[in-house]
Amino acid sequence: MKNILCLNKIAACGTDLLDKNEYNVATADIADPDAIMVRSAVMHEMTFGASLKAIARAGAGVNNIPVDRCATEGIVVFNTPGANANGVKELAICALMLASRDIAGAIRWADTLVGTEGVAKAVEAGKSKFAGVEVKGKTLGVIGLGAIGALVANAALDLGMKVVGCDPFMSVDAAWKLDPRVIKAATFDEVFAAADYVTLHVPATKDTKGMINAASLAGMKDGVRIINLARADLVNSADVKAALESGKVASYVTDFPTEETVGVKGIVAIPHLGASTAEAEDNCAVMAALQLDDYLKNGNIKNSVNFPNVAMPRSAEARVCVLHSAECDLLGALEAIANENGASVAALSTGKKGANAYTIADVNGNAAALAAALNAKGCVYKAYVI
How far from chain centre, in Å, is Cα 286? 16
Q: CB-based contacts of 173: which residues, under 8 Å, 6+ apart? A: none
Catalytic residue among 231, 281, 319, 324: 231
Residue 135 CA: distances (Å) to CA of 97, 159, 198 = 8, 7, 12
User: Do both 22 and 101 map to the same domain?
Assistant: no
Which residue positions in the chain have pLDDT lower than 50?
none
Q: How far apart are CA 323 and CA 51, in angstroms?
A: 14
Catalytic residue among 69, 101, 272, 314: 272
Q: For the segment 286-295, what is each residue's pLDDT rounded down to a tens digit?
A: 999 999 999 9
User: Do both 28 and 125 map to the same domain?
Assistant: no
Residue after which a domain boundary falls, among 206, 240, 269: 269
User: Do both 108 and 245 map to the same domain?
Assistant: yes
260 is catalytic: yes
Residue after which a domain boundary falls, among 306, 325, 351: 306
User: Do both 19 and 100 map to the same domain?
Assistant: no
User: Do both 294 and 311 map to the same domain?
Assistant: no
Q: For the segment 78-109, what is each residue's pLDDT rounded down to a tens digit?
A: 999 989 999 999 999 999 999 999 999 999 99
Q: How far apart are CA 275 and CA 349, in angstroms?
A: 35
Q: CB-based contacts of 372: which residues, under 8 Å, 6+ apart? A: 341, 383
CATH code at position 62: 3.40.50.720
User: Do both 285 and 255 map to the same domain?
Assistant: no
Cα end-to-end distance, the chain, whole Å = 13
Q: CB-based contacts of 320: which residues, under 8 Å, 6+ apart? A: 360, 361, 362, 363, 367, 370, 371, 374, 383, 384, 385, 386
Q: How far apart are CA 199 and CA 93, in angstroms?
A: 10
Residue 94 CA: distances (Å) to CA of 101, 151, 289, 292, 352 = 11, 14, 30, 34, 40
User: Do both 101 and 233 map to the same domain?
Assistant: yes
User: Do both 13 and 1 map to the same domain?
Assistant: yes
Catalytic residue among 73, 90, 260, 335: 260
Tell me what pLDDT residue 296 has.
Answer: 98
User: Do both 253 and 381 map to the same domain?
Assistant: no
Say if residue 30 is exposed, middle or buried (CB neighbours under 10 Å; 0-12, 13-18, 19+). Answer: middle
Tell me what pLDDT residue 136 has.
Answer: 98
69 is catalytic: no
Closest of 122, 172, 134 to residue 150, by C-alpha? 172
CATH code at position 381: 3.30.70.260
Residue 229 CA: distances (Å) to CA of 27, 111, 237 = 29, 27, 14
User: Do both 122 and 77 map to the same domain?
Assistant: no
Residue after which a domain boundary falls, among 287, 306, 325: 306
Q: How far apart are CA 335 and CA 337, in angstroms?
A: 5
User: Do both 76 and 98 map to the same domain?
Assistant: no
Share of the chain above pLDDT 90, in %: 90
Structural domain count, the chain: 3
User: Do both 78 and 98 map to the same domain?
Assistant: no
Supply the range of the domain harboring residue 317: 307-386
272 is catalytic: yes
What type of residue sits at position 12?
Answer: A
Task: Give the chain's length.
Answer: 386
Tell me what pLDDT residue 30 has.
Answer: 87
